[in-house]
Amino acid sequence: MKPTFLTGCAGSAKGVPRLPAVERPAGRPHPEDFGPPRTQEGGLFGRWWTTLVDPLLSVLFPPRCVGCGDFETHLCDKCRDALESIGPEACPRCGEPGPRPLLGGRCSACLGTEVSYVRARSAFVHSGAAQRLVLELKSGGQKVLARTMAGLARPAFADLLASTPGVAETLVTWVPSHPAVLRRRGYNQAELLARELAAEPPGLATAGLLEKRVPTREQKALDKAARQSNLRGAFSLVRRAWAAREGQLRALVLVDDVLTTGATVEEVAKVLTEGTRLPVYVFTFSRAVSGREETHD
Ligand SMILES: [Zn+2]
Ligand SMILES: [Zn+2]
């Protein structure tokens, strides 16, 4: 039986609410990244691998905390408790952490801004271990972190889903990567997160509705206007994927790993709403509150 550990904070100084249990901790690399699928259908070879090879891999690649580097765990209690949750009191429109005074459903951060999505919601402030998780998932090759991150973010994701017209008619999609990046990295971190998040509630639909045909420059060094023009025209709706769903849905949830200036999710949400005429809800694992780094490419 695989170990279960609590990802909840028992009560940090910031009063972060207790988080749910995650079935399997993440790590670098995790034995489940190797070998045959861990299913009952794995057969003799799968059982042999699980019995003999997994323990060996655990010794060769002992898990380390992404926050502090401690051995034997992928996210230690201390680093997990230090994650700064963004609660439901955040701005109901742009997701800026709150509580914040609202005017017509808008906070001071989004009062004068038009956006293409109905609501943006993030689970954690993009700092400390949350930032490390995003970085290791994206650039450290640790695909296995997606499951742990989804487990940590689930309460915030459920809060966003509750504001959609109905889970049965909601589809979860993600910010796409350019094919050259996909070839280099081997995966899209936003897709991994979206698929893990959509595992609950069961039956929540997922599909890649978008593609990124135009490569974009690194966003880091660009100001807001330059970021927007850098992204303009980069994304497009995959007509075939949308045609298979058209008429069955009432809302879309767009998932990304981190929201910084919001330029990426705004551009993608605009393409989605123009192409589908459906309301778009944005969900990210973390949100930069005072930082300026744009990490999706
Ligand atoms: Zn730690
Ligand atoms: Zn706002």
Segments making up each domain of the chain, as ranges: 5-80, 86-287
User: What confidence score (pLDDT) does residue 22 get?
Assistant: 37
- Least confident range of 115-119, 175-179, 198-202, 275-279: 198-202
User: What confidence score (pLDDT) does residue 45 get?
Assistant: 55
Among all chains, which residue has been given the structure tokens 């993440």? Answer: 26
Q: At residue 28, what is the residue type?
A: R
Contact of 281 with 117, CB cutoff 8 Å: yes
Side-chain-side CA neighbours of 65 within 13 Å: the count stands at 18
pLDDT band at 217 (very low <50, low <70, confident <90, very high): confident
Contact of 183 with 212, CB cutoff 8 Å: no
pTM of the predicted protein model: 0.79
pLDDT band at 19 (very low <50, low <70, confident <90, very high): very low
**Distance from the alpha carbon of residue 197 to the mean position of ligand 1, in angstroms:** 23
Q: Which residues contact 267 (CB under 8 A, 6 or more apart)?
A: 228, 231, 232, 234, 235
User: What confidence score (pLDDT) does residue 226 get?
Assistant: 79
Q: At residue 236, what is the residue type?
A: S
Question: How far, in Å, CA of 155 to CA of 123, rounded?
Answer: 8
Based on C-alpha coordinates, what's the Rg of the chain? Answer: 19
**Distance from the alpha carbon of residue 278 to the mean position of ligand 2, in angstroms:** 21
Asked if pLDDT for residue 31 goes beyond 60, the answer is: no
Q: Average per-residue pLDDT in the chain?
A: 81
Asked if pLDDT for residue 17 goes beyond 80, the answer is: no
**Distance from the alpha carbon of residue 107 to the mean position of ligand 2, in angstroms:** 4
**Distance from the alpha carbon of residue 53 to the mean position of ligand 1, in angstroms:** 27
Average pLDDT over residues 3-21: 35
Q: Which ligand is nearest to the CA of 117?
A: 2
- Least confident range of 9-23, 86-100, 108-122: 9-23
User: What confidence score (pLDDT) does residue 61 get?
Assistant: 72
Q: Report which of 15, 16, 14, 144 is spatially closest to residue 75, judged by C-alpha positions.
A: 144
Q: pLDDT digits over 241-255, tens only? A: 999 999 999 999 999
Question: How far, in Å, CA of 84 to CA of 110, rounded?
Answer: 22
**Which residues hold their Cβ within 5 A of ligand 1, which is an ion?**
65, 67-68, 70, 76, 79
Among all chains, which residue has been given the structure tokens 């070839």? Answer: 183
Phi, psi of 52 (to 5 degrees): -105, -40
**Distance from the alpha carbon of residue 73 to the mean position of ligand 1, in angstroms:** 8
Average pLDDT over residues 87-94: 92
CA–CA distance from 184 to each of 139, 180, 188, 237 (Å)? 11, 6, 10, 23
User: What confidence score (pLDDT) does residue 297 get?
Assistant: 55
Asked if pLDDT for residue 54 goes beyond 70, the answer is: no
What 3-state DSSP class applies to 153? helix
Average pLDDT over residues 224-229: 76
Asked if pLDDT for residue 40 goes beyond 70, the answer is: no
**Distance from the alpha carbon of residue 260 to the mean position of ligand 2, in angstroms:** 14
Higher pLDDT, 204 or 54: 204
**Distance from the alpha carbon of residue 80 to the mean position of ligand 2, in angstroms:** 27
User: What confidence score (pLDDT) does residue 46 get?
Assistant: 52
Q: Report which of 217, 207, 219, 222 is spatially closest to residue 254, judged by C-alpha positions.
A: 207
Average pLDDT over residues 64-90: 89
**Distance from the alpha carbon of residue 84 to the mean position of ligand 2, in angstroms:** 19
**Distance from the alpha carbon of residue 283 to the mean position of ligand 1, in angstroms:** 25
Average pLDDT over residues 171-193: 95
Q: Which ligand is nearest to the CA of 133?
A: 1
Asked if pLDDT for residue 67 goes beyond 50, the answer is: yes
